[in-house]
Amino acid sequence: DVVMTQSPLSLPVTLGQPASISCRSSQSLVHSDGNTYLNWFQQRPGQSPRRLIYKVSDRDSGVPDRFSGSGSATDFTLKISRVEAEDVGVYYCMQGTHWPWTFGQGTRVEIK
């Protein structure tokens, strides 16, 4: 199975400051169709997960443009340009290239 490793696991941030989460996969996530199925999810306290980013860098409808995804092959990053209070929660990367699909451990974002 593809192992997804996130860092850091806890991220205290100051409101208005940037934040960055790293996600590394144990093998390349480039699919035979040429796409890279790396997704990012946000889970606010007490809520269902919400997809933010798909295929590395495509933002889902309604997701603020302060969220951005980048990376390739095995190294990926989620960036929040200016953290707001509503961004508190746990963020997960997930690969949909290889079966079984697998998630990272999650990164908890909190306000300092």
Partner 1 sequence: EVQLVESGGGLIQPGGSLRLSCAASGFTVSSNYMSWVRQAPGKGLEWVSVISSGGGTYYADSVKGRFTISRDSSKNTLFLQMNSLRAEDTAVYYCSYGLLRDWGQGTLITISS
Q: Which residues bind partner 1 (CB under 8 A)?
A: 1, 37, 39, 41, 43, 48-51, 54, 60, 90, 92, 94, 96, 99-106
Query: Within 13 A of 27's CA, how many CA atoms are on the CB side?
Result: 9
Shortest distance, position 106 Cβ to partner 1, whole Å: 5
Shortest distance, position 45 Cβ to partner 1, whole Å: 12
Task: Give Cα separations from 75 to 7, 30, 43, 79 (angstroms).
Answer: 11, 11, 22, 13
Strand order of the sheet with strand 19-25?
4-7, 19-25, 75-80, 67-72
Give 88 or 96: the residue with its C-beta nearer to partner 1: 96
Give 81 or 101: the residue with its C-beta nearer to partner 1: 101
Chain Cα centroid distance, residue 100: 18
Shortest distance, position 48 Cβ to partner 1, whole Å: 4
Give 43 or 68: the residue with its C-beta nearer to partner 1: 43
Provide the residue type at 51 as one letter. Answer: R
